[in-house]
Amino acid sequence: MSQVSSFFTPKRIILAIGIVSIAGIAKSSVLMTDAGYTYIYQNNITGTLDVFSEPGIHFRMPFLSKITRYDQVVTVSFGNNQGEAFYQRLEALPVRFADTYTGTVPATFRFRLSHDPKEITTMHREFRSNDNLIESMLIKNARNVTVITATQYTGEEFFQGGLNQFKAQLSDQLINGIYSTERRQVEIDQVDLVPVGLDQDDSNKLQPTKQLVWKTVPIENEQGQPIRQDNPLKQYGITVTQVTIGDPAPEEQLDKLLTDKKKLVAERIRAIQEQETSKAQAKTEQLRKEIQRTREVQDAQRTKELAVISQQKDVEVARQIAERELVEERKKKDIATLTKAKELEISKANLEIQKANALSSEYEAKAIREKGIAEADVLSAKYGALGQHENVYLAELNRDVAKQLYENLPNFKISMPQNYINGSNGNLTSNLDVITGLSALGIMEKTQELKASKDNE
């Protein structure tokens, strides 16, 4: 106990209090801004307001200032239960149409705050907090414009194709201001089927019809543009960047009316289809008979035309045969003429060839004769010259023979016979002597072969 009391001395307590106070003052003197938010810094001493729209670090008066944070982009959703904030989980908007029918319209609105410090300051002076701005301005304005826009449509008009136009007008009035309107009876265009009982070809088609209803109609100026009321968002610089419409739901009576109308239209279409089917069957039967009659007429006409064509064909065939025979005769005559002319040309050519051959043979004989005479004169002169120098010529011949013998001397080989067979008185007088001698030669050759093989071993 004494150790604890010694630890918490007055000096240490004062030091700790001083450190905590300094940390608190330092924390209260710094403002850290994040992206996506706008901060209003209120100096309670001077009474000034400063706006910070970008992320960063700023200094502030500790303990004597106030910071208010606003979302730069706010999403307000009606009929969406998956939002992150309470103003994104609102119920779908209940609306009442011009024909007193009601319904619910799920919608999502996206707003963007201004970056102008003056507009932000004005907005802060009016609403003082982000939640109050959303509840008092954005949610109420979105609901009010949606309800006012719905009064410009009938229930049937809205749920039978007017949703896209409703969205466009809703977005236009949120951005530029709602229309100044008045309630009056107007004609609206509807599309309906032609009554079933009408005897006409287009009884199954749609036709435009007129209907008088009470509607809230925008008041237009002289230029035909709608007159608008002041836009409450404009003075604060708040803009609408997106409007999304979900799947609207009609009230039970309107839903029943639309369902019954669909059934009635379906039944009328079915009745019309049955009538059209009957008409089509009757027309089909009539057309079938017309087609059959036309086919029979065409068959008779075709038979007649075929007979005429057959006769014309026979005449044409006979004419073509006659023309072909005439052409054949002309062809034969022309061929005979050409053949004779060709033979005549060949004969003339052969005659010229024979004349040329005869003349050529004559000149060839003369040439051979002259050549023979010239060769005989040359040979005679040659032998005359050799006769005058006979010794020289013989000496040259002997020289050439001796030279050839000397060059071929190594190729001469003289072998002596190894065996000699001599018959009686040196002659082989009978076949027996010849056979005996040949046998002896064979034995001697085998003996020499055996001896040579032993020597090799």
| DSSP 8-state symbol, 61 | -
Tell the CATH topology of 72-250. Tetrahydropterin Synthase; Chain A (3.30.479)
- Mean pLDDT calculated for residue range 183-192: 65
User: How are beta strands 206-218 and 181-193 bridged, if at all?
Assistant: antiparallel
User: Could you tell me which of 77, 100, 102 has the C-alpha nearest to residue 88?
Assistant: 77
- pLDDT at residue 196 in the model: 47
pLDDT digits 0-9 by tens, 368-427: 888 888 888 887 777 777 777 777 777 877 888 788 777 777 776 666 666 666 666 656
Q: How far is CA 261 from CA 227, 254, 270, 274, in A?
A: 36, 10, 14, 20
pLDDT digits 0-9 by tens, 117-157: 888 888 888 888 888 888 888 888 989 999 988 888 887 78
Report which of residues 392 and 5 the model is more confident about.
392
- Mean pLDDT calculated for residue range 333-360: 84
Say if residue 85's pLDDT is above 70: no
Percent of the chain scoring above 90 in pLDDT? 1
- Mean pLDDT calculated for residue range 223-249: 86
- The CA distance from 184 to 172, in Å, is 22
Give the model's confidence band at 111: pLDDT under 50 very low, under 70 low, under 90 confident, else very high: very high
Say if residue 225's pLDDT is above 80: yes
Long-range contact list for 342-346, CB < 8 A, 24+ apart? Answer: none
Report which of residues 135 and 185 the model is more confident about.
135
- The CA distance from 75 to 113, in Å, is 11
Report which of residues 442 and 3 the model is more confident about.
442
Task: Find the range with the poorest average confidence among 83-87, 220-224, 251-255, 301-305.
Answer: 83-87
**Which positions ≥6 away from 211 have C-beta within 8 Å?**
187, 188, 190
Cross-strand pairs, 42: 49, 66
Give the model's confidence band at 5: pLDDT under 50 very low, under 70 low, under 90 confident, else very high: low
For every residue of 380-405, DSSP letters joined together read: HHHHHHHHHTHHHHHHHHHHHHHHHH
Quote the mean pLDDT of the chain: 77
CB atoms within 10 A of CB 169: 21
User: How are beta strands 37-43 and 65-71 bridged, if at all?
Assistant: antiparallel
Give the model's confidence band at 211: pLDDT under 50 very low, under 70 low, under 90 confident, else very high: low
pLDDT digits 0-9 by tens, 282-295: 788 888 888 888 88
CA atoms within 13 A on the CB side of 311: 5
Say if residue 433's pLDDT is above 50: yes
3-state secondary structure of 435: helix
Cross-strand pairs, 182: 217
- pLDDT at residue 18 in the model: 59
CB atoms within 10 A of CB 159: 20
- Mean pLDDT calculated for residue range 252-273: 72
CB atoms within 10 A of CB 75: 20
Percent of the chain scoring above 70 in pLDDT? 74
Give the model's confidence band at 335: pLDDT under 50 very low, under 70 low, under 90 confident, else very high: confident
| DSSP 8-state symbol, 44 | T
Cross-strand pairs, 208: 191
> What does the block give as tokens for 106?
């799920």
- pLDDT at residue 265 in the model: 65
- pLDDT at residue 59 in the model: 59
Say if residue 164's pLDDT is above 80: yes
